[in-house]
């Protein structure tokens, strides 16, 4: 783990150094590709503005993601426990997932306005399918011998769910969150692009319209930091609460 982190850090440092010192030799103007030092200075200069807009985007992202987890897991449970629901839910979600959510974003803005509602719904829609698929896999693909053993031990239906199916599904759900979290963030930002007056996506557009490319890169840095923190928080949860999983102990 340490070697991997060190390798990534060194790679990023080399790329930033090359960017900082080779771009001037290529005579690339700052309005196309500002230097990392200029981006960092702009980031610090606009830190309070970055923090406020990022907080707005984080709120819509996390709320949409939470709704996606709730609905995705409930739909997976419905498919597992109500066999007739499988023929309805699976084709519907598969078909709906084939529709580019970004294409319906303007409709959501028209229907739900420029406020947070349209961003939350878009974040929810983008995060729903991976959470549903991973949850269904974790809840459904359990060795029959484990289920039989739990029944022989006198396990009730509730105990079978909480101690067998749910425990088996948790690692799948956390893996789904690693995919769904960036997708939910994309949903929020796209909603801000199309119709918003606040948020980190709106800040990116402001920088673009004003040809403040350093501000655009600074906003992208804020997005990167937020995504990294979110993925790291999921990984920390896995290390703290899923240590009983052999695959987690090996990581």
Query: Does 138 have pLDDT greater than 70?
Result: yes
Binning pLDDT at 50, 70 and 90, where does residue 4 land? Answer: low
pLDDT of residue 247: 54
Query: Does 14 have pLDDT greater than 90?
Result: no
Mean pLDDT, all residues of the chain: 85
Q: What confidence tens digit (pLDDT) does each residue in 226-237 have?
A: 999 999 999 888
Q: What is the DSSP code string of the chain?
A: -HHHHHHHHHHHHHHHHHHHHHTTTTT--TTTS--HHHHHHHHHHTHHHHHHHHHHHHHHHHHHHHHHHHHHHHHHHHHHH-HHHHHHHHHHHHHHHTS-HHHHHHHHHHHH-SSHHHHHHHHHHHHHHHHHHHHHHHHH---HHHHHHHHHTT--HHHIIIIIIHHHHHHHHHHHHHHHHHHHHHHHHHHHHHS-SSSHHHHHHHHHHTT-HHHHHHHHHHHHHHHHHHHHHHHHHHHHH-TTSHHHHH-
Q: What confidence tens digit (pLDDT) does each residue in 213-225 have?
A: 999 999 999 999 9
The CATH number assigned to the domain with range 35-250 reads: 1.10.3720.10
| pTM of structure | 0.86
For residues 30-53, average pLDDT: 90
């Amino acid at each position: 783990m340490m070697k991997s982190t060190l390798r990534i850090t060194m790679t990023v440092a080399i790329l930033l150094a090359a960017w900082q010192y080779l771009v001037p030799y290529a005579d690339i103007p700052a309005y196309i590709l500002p230097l990392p030092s200029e981006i960092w200075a702009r980031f610090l200069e606009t830190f309070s503005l970055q923090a406020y807009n990022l907080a707005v985007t984080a709120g819509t992202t996390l709320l949409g993601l939470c709704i996606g987890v709730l609905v995705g897991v409930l739909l997976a449970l419905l498919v597992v426990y109500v066999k007739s629901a499988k023929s309805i839910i699976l084709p519907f979600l598969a078909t709906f997932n084939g529709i580019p959510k970004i294409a319906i974003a303007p409709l959501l803005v028209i229907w739900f306005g420029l406020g947070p509602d349209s961003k939350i719904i878009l974040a929810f829609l983008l995060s729903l399918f991976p959470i549903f698929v991973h949850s269904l896999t974790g809840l459904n693909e359990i060795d029959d011998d484990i289920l039989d053993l739990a029944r022989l031990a006198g396990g009730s239906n509730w105990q079978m769910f909480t101690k067998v199916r749910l425990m088996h599904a948790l690692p799948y759900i956390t893996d789904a969150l690693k995919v769904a979290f960036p997708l939910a963030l994309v949903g929020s930002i796209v909603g801000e692009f199309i119709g918003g007056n606040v948020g980190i996506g709106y800040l990116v557009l402001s920088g673009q319209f004003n040809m403040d490319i350093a501000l655009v890169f600074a906003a992208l840095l804020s997005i990167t930091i937020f995504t990294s923190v979110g993925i790291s928080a999921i990984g920390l949860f896995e290390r703290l609460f899923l240590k009983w999983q052999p695959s987690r102990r090996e990581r």
